[in-house]
Chain A
Amino acid sequence: MKPGQTFALLAAALLAVPAAQALEFNQLQPAKSAVSFVYKQMNVPIEGGFKRFKGELRFDPARPEAAKTTLEIELASVDTGFAEGNDEVQGRLWFDSKNHPVARFVSTSVKPLGGNRYEVAGKMSIKGRTLDVKTPATFRQAGNSGVFEGAFVLKRADYGIGEGMWADFGTVANEVEIRFRMTATAAGKQ
């Protein structure tokens, strides 16, 4: 590489990096984020969610393929919609949260689908099992905040969530819709 080219690349990098940082949303705001779900019990849709989770999110709308997110959900903070259910799902047959307290999602790729739509792929680990998952997500910018929202269907049996007497899908369906809203601020801007 000629010295002139090296200089040009260096100059481009120096110019480009601050610009990219200014647009990167990288401070996850748990208070403005939510992880909830809808499951069907006797064909009745019931809403639930998780009260505590933490993670990281880095997203630059100009470089979506460089985006990265990890999310750790504290399973003991589940709200299944009713008290008896909250105790039940901590047990061995469901989350076994004593031995597996956290559900973890680590993104592997973020693919732009056009407009404000993206496809986020990653690895979801629950109860000692790690599987590939994919979810559509939309992104919108509101002032200094970037908000990712989306939903996908997770099959509880894939992770052994609800074993033994709960394994039959007649009472609690296999499909659980997971909904998320991740809000991150662009710290570099201030």
Chain B
Amino acid sequence: MPPANRYTRTAIGLHWLIAAAIVGTFGLGLYMHELPFSPDKLKLYAWHKWAGVSIFLLVLARIVWRLAHRPPAPPASMPGWQRQAAEGVHLLLYVLMLAVPLTGWLMSSAKGVPTVWFGVLPLPDLLGKDKALGELLATVHKILNLGMAALVLAHAGAALKHHFVDRDEVLARMLPRLKKP
């Protein structure tokens, strides 16, 4: 199957929906963590978890879509090391988009707080209550998040470099409203 020359609308929609959800949920996570104990804090933690579960499911859908639809090939002018770097970052981002919500869910279980999606659908607790494990998973969740934040910055920086420096269509393919440079 030859690579398409553009992303499907579904791929574009999922990309931006998940991007917005990740930025929002990441920011919410940083903010809620610092709040003094209050009903609002508990509410925000619940919302953060609901968002995390939603992102996990959207990412699964996105991976299925990605496997069924080939993305467009990188521009011919792109050096080999950049193609490899881009592929590596994309793969790592997919891994982290699954691993971050997964560690959040496991951490919550280990801390003795089950996750109930939107307050309606209880998720199973894969781990029993274990304080030390809960704290370890909290650290893992944080480190994976910081790693993902760094990769997202690299990813966005590379897209901007393609658009403004290389003046190719890499960013415009994912952002069709953008005029071709």
Contact = CB atoms under 8 A, between A and B. Distances in A.
Give the one of B111, B113, B114 with max A CB within 10 A.
B113
A43 B119 contact: yes
Interface residues on B, range: 10 to 19
A82 B113 contact: yes
Contacts of B115: 44
Contacts of B120: 43
Contacts, number: 43
Given A84-B37, A88-B37, A46 B113 contact: yes
B4 interface: no
Contacts of B119: 42-44
Contact of A172 (B42, B112, B114, B116): B42
A41 interface: yes
A63 to B, nearest CB: 41
A42 B112 contact: no
Given A43-B119, A44-B46, A81 B39 contact: no
A99 B114 CA distance: 33
Contacts of A172: 39, 42
A88 B115 CA distance: 22
Contacts of A42: 42-43, 45-46, 116, 119
Interface stretch (A8-16, A134-142, A163-171): A163-171
A165 B43 CA distance: 13
A46 B42 CA distance: 13
Interface string A137-178: 000000000000000000000000000011010111000000
Contact of A171 (B39, B112, B122): B39
B51 to A, nearest CB: 13
B123 to A, nearest CB: 10
Please report whether the interface of chain B is mostly helix, strand, loop or mixed according to DSSP.
loop
Q: What's the interface size class on A, roughly?
A: 10 to 19
A81 B111 CA distance: 8
Given A84-B37, A88-B37, A41 B42 contact: yes
A43 B116 contact: yes
B48 to A, nearest CB: 11
Interface string B31-64: 0000001110011011000000000000000000
Contacts of B116: 42-44
A84 B115 CA distance: 18
Contacts of B38: 165
Interface in B132-160: none
Given A42-B119, A43-B119, 10 more contacts: A44-B46, A44-B114, A46-B114, A82-B112, A84-B37, A168-B39, A170-B39, A171-B39, A171-B42, A172-B39
15 contacts: A41-B42, A41-B113, A42-B42, A42-B43, A42-B45, A42-B116, A44-B46, A44-B115, A82-B113, A85-B37, A87-B37, A166-B39, A168-B39, A170-B39, A171-B39
Interface of B: 37-39, 42-43, 45-46, 111-116, 119-120, 122
Nearest first, the 8 A-B pairs at minimum CB distance are A43-B119, A42-B46, A171-B39, A84-B37, A81-B112, A44-B116, A171-B42, A88-B37
